[in-house]
Structure 1
Amino acid sequence: MATASETNRRLLLELLERAGNGTCIDCGVADPEWASSTLGVFMCQSCSALHRNIPQISRVKSILMDPWEAEEVEFMASSGNEAAKAKYEQLIPPFYYTPTNKDCMLLREQWIRAKYERMEFMFVDRQEPYSAGYREGFLWKRGRDNGQFLCRKFILSEREGALKYFNKQDAREPKAVMKIQNINASFQTAKIGHQHGLQITYLKDNSTRNIFVYHDDGKEMVDWFNGIRAARYHYLQVAYPGAHDTDLVPKLSRNYMKEGYMEKTGPKHTEGFKKRWFTMDDRRLMYFKDPLDAYARGELFIGSKENSYTVLPGLPPSIQGYHWQFGITIVTPDRKFLCACETLADQQDWIAVFQKVVHRPMLPQEYAVEAHFKHKP
């Protein structure tokens, strides 16, 4: 005869079969094995660790290893992930970034705190000011030349269509003006070396510029990130009148398709191969001497196969000199761009990313980017 504990565990496992309960409530990963007995939701192990940071709200238990009381199981049965989403996620602004299991822990923790601790998406008056179109404050910004992080004043103004920063607190003129039209923000915690590190990219004279910032308060940094997304959302609503949120939201911010070291040679293919940090961002392949450089040493536009762009494994047999052995040849209408990877796995990963770009038809506005693209060899 089954014990009460075994019966409760069997009932919990049956609840996982219900619609919505088979994926983590917070990041969407499949087959959750943890649950909150106070919120009535099922979650993955990774998100359960973040729930432990709010013990006054969420009591986390393992479905398989912890003992469960009959009344706790009854509460789980009366709630569940779909009911909790309807309650805690009813007023999420369209621009608010909802993280997945692939996102950094900061985004995931603040998402969980926003939902259950601050209840931002249950009541209109709990909404944070990141949606107001204006934000100012101080962030630690990495210096372009010395690499030190210095406190700088930032102003995000949707009305002016720009994010600006000032080198001195009382400065009248900003050091840089980043237009909302072509700004992107992505968390780069490992690269920046800070768990709240944010990389902000913008275009100046059609070339990419990077700044790297952080704030010691994780919520403040995520609010800046969502503030930038809100400003982009309202800009795109004007730029594309009548467009649906399903079309606009993916354009608010983007993670890089891939980053990492490769070696490259010059346009004449007679120079030696040099190790560079590469970033694939949409259709721009950029290379840097250092991952935290403000400016790319060069940028290459990668169009579609219909427009004579192809990617081939290996290097032309005529290439001499020392280089990593796993080569890649990117063929454009103007030239061949040669690079090499240290491992076969790196080569295969990069080629898969390049093929994804090449097999994507070009949009009308991308022809304009291609036409104006300034490649610096």
Structure 2
Amino acid sequence: MANLARNNKILLELVQRPGNNLCADCSAPEPDWASYTLGVFVCLNCSGMHRNLPTVSKVKSIRLDYWDSSLVEFMQKRGNSEAKAIFEKCVPTFFYKPRQNDCIVLKDQWIRAKYERREFTGENNKFLQIYTSEQFESPLWKKGRVNKQFLKRNFLLSQRDFTLKYFIKEDSKVPKAVISMKDLNADFQPEKIGHPHGLQISYSEDDHTRNLFVYHDDGTIIASTVLFKNQCQTILNCIPWLYKRCFSTQLVPQLTSKSLKEGYMEKTGPTTRESFKKRWFTLNLTNRKLLYLKSPLEATEKGFAFIGSESHGYSVSACSGQSKRGGRWRWGIFLKTPDREYVFMCEQESEQKEWIEAFRKIISQPMTPEDYASTLLLCQITFYHFVHVQAFTSHSFFFHR
């Protein structure tokens, strides 16, 4: 009993040390599990993925399980920092390291790459050659735009011209689409797509956001697709600074950005006199856009709103009361912009609070030069449409006179 109490005390002290106080795989705080074969402290979620590698990793609870003195001594010698120096020695700059709230497939493939395949120990250059190759090609199941069924399509990511192409048939030489890597984003969406390895690929096309919904039964393939995309975008973003020998790792988190908030709300039209309609909304922090679609799996958004900063006249607040224009929900949000006032309705009060918090997070952040450029482009597009609509209206009036 004395040894048991002593060992538990040592483990609890070890897990509070810098490096050990965060999960070795996703950086979640206060990990309470440990792999006694690898010598790392991990969170509950990551411990479940370690159990899927029984020949590599064996885990115990540091609070509930019995620990032999020899295992405790090994944990004292190893720990997260020592293990990181071994298993993350050669992680490529573009490689996305998952965080606490990332999806299972991303964390699972990171753990398998680190411990099972030992891709980053420097023992084998095969994996580095794969990651630094000029192209990545694989079939993926893509949701059809018309029939809404998932069909097998061949995807090709190219570092030579920084594009993503996909082909309808395996032997096709002419791609169905060629997408520039510059503004492309990939976001894991297992629940939305209905597959554990579901991926949403978004990009700009004709002033709209276009979505591709894909998956692959092999998690390694879908994770490799995202990682190769990160590699290409890291290089593409660094080209202007290469003469300074600047290769900043700070660019990487911006390449694959998860939506700040998604979900259904009801919205009214520009005059706020129209009836409310249910729409699926996506709020993105990186480009400060609120997109709305008819349903989560629509290929193209119906419209969007740019969310600027508080100093530029943007604000958000709660409003309550049952809608008088056909809306079923009563938890309202009032979004004020310099050009328009938006009214949204949520089904639950908790959703209202989450949306307001997400809006405030963007509004509280100052705009970047890229944000100003987006605003200028949006104004130009709006002015272009206004001039052409006025010209068409005037022409029609003159013609019908």
> How high is the TM-score relative to the length of structure 1?
0.94
2:326 matches 1:322: yes
Q: 1: CA distance between counterparts of 2:15 and 2:171?
A: 57
- Is the 8 Å Cα contact of residues 119 and 126 (structure 1) preserved in structure 2? no
Q: Check whether the contact 2:93–2:249 (CA below 8 A) recurs between aligned residues.
A: no
Tell me the SS of whatever aligns to 1:169: coil
**CA distance 1:231–1:289, change in 2 (3 Å):** same
Instruction: Work out the CA distance in 2 between the residues paired with 1:309 and 1:5.
Output: 59
Letter in 1 for 2:33: W
How far apart are 1:107 and its partner, in Å?
Answer: 0.8
Name the counterpart of 1:175. 176
Match of 1:342 in 2: 347
Identity of aligned residues (%): 45
1:239-285 C-alpha deviation (Å, 9 max, x unpaired): 44445524312221100010000000111222110010000013111
Q: Is the 8 A contact 2:23 2:31 kept in 1?
A: yes
1:40 aligned residue: 39
Match of 1:301?
Answer: 306
2:377 is matched with 372
SS at match of 2:263: strand
Q: Judge conservation of contact 2:94–2:249 (CA < 8 Å) in 1.
A: no
| 2:222 match | 221
Deviates more, 1:119-128 or 1:43-52: 119-128
Which residue identity is paired with 1:238? I
> Residue 77 of structure 1: SS of its match in structure 2?
helix
Residues 72-93 of structure 1 show CA distances to partners (whole Å, capped at 9, x for unaligned) of 1111111111110111111111
Q: Name the counterpart of 1:276.
A: 279
- Name the CA distance, whole Å, in 2 between partners of 1:131 and 1:251: 20
Partner of 2:61: 62
The residue that corresponds to 2:48 in the other structure is 49
Contact 2:138 2:221 in 1 (8 A): no
Query: What's the secondary structure of 1:328's corresponding residue?
Result: strand
Within-5 A mapping of 1:22-37? 22-37=21-36
Q: 1:239 to 1:197 in 2, by over 3 A?
A: farther
Partner of 2:395: none
> Which whole-Å CA distance do the structure 2 matches of 1:53 and 1:59 have between them?
9
Residue 170 (structure 1) shift:
2.6
How do 1:39-188 and structure 2 match up within 5 A?
39-123=38-122, 125-128=125-128, 129-188=130-189
In the other structure, the counterpart of 1:310 is 315
Find the residue that maps to 2:350 and give its secondary structure: helix
Ranges in structure 2 where 5+ consecutive residues have no aligned partner: 386-401
1:236: how far off?
0.2
What code does the residue aligned with 1:89 have? E
Instruction: Give 1:365 deviation, angstroms.
Output: 2.1
Match of 1:248 in 2: 251
Tell me the alpha carbon deviations over residues 10-56 of structure 1, each in whole angstroms, 9 at most, x when there is no partner: 22223223332222111111222211111111111111111111111
CA distance in 2, matches of 1:43, 1:343: 35
Q: State the distance in 2 between where 1:362 and 1:133 align.
A: 35
Could you state the TM-score of these two structures normalised by the residue count of structure 2?
Answer: 0.89
> What is the rounded CA distance, in whole Å, between the counterparts of 1:5 and 1:343 in structure 2?
49
Deviations for 1:174-201, whole angstroms, at most 9, x for unmatched residues? 1111111100001001101100001000
SS in structure 1 of the partner of residue 125 of structure 2: helix
Contact 2:41–2:80 (CA under 8 A) maintained in structure 1: yes
- Three-state SS of the structure 2 residue aligned to 1:127 is helix
User: How far apart, CA to CA, are the structure 2 residues paired with 1:80 and 1:43?
Assistant: 10
Mind listing any 5+ residue stretches in structure 1 that lack a counterpart? none
Is 2:338 the counterpart of 1:333?
yes
- Aligned with 1:210: secondary structure? strand
Q: Give the length in aligned residue pairs.
A: 374
C-alpha distance in structure 1 between counterparts of 2:298 and 2:241, whole Å: 33
RCO higher in 1 or 2 (8 Å CA, sep ≥ 6)? 1
CA distance in 1, matches of 2:138, 2:126: 21
- CA distance in 2 between counterparts of 1:45 and 1:280 reads 29
- Which SS does the other structure have where 1:165 is aligned? strand
Q: Is 1:288 aligned to 2:293, yes or no? A: yes
What's the offset of the Cα at 1:68? 1.9
Where does residue 192 of structure 1 map in the other structure?
Answer: 193
Q: Which has the higher helix share?
A: 2
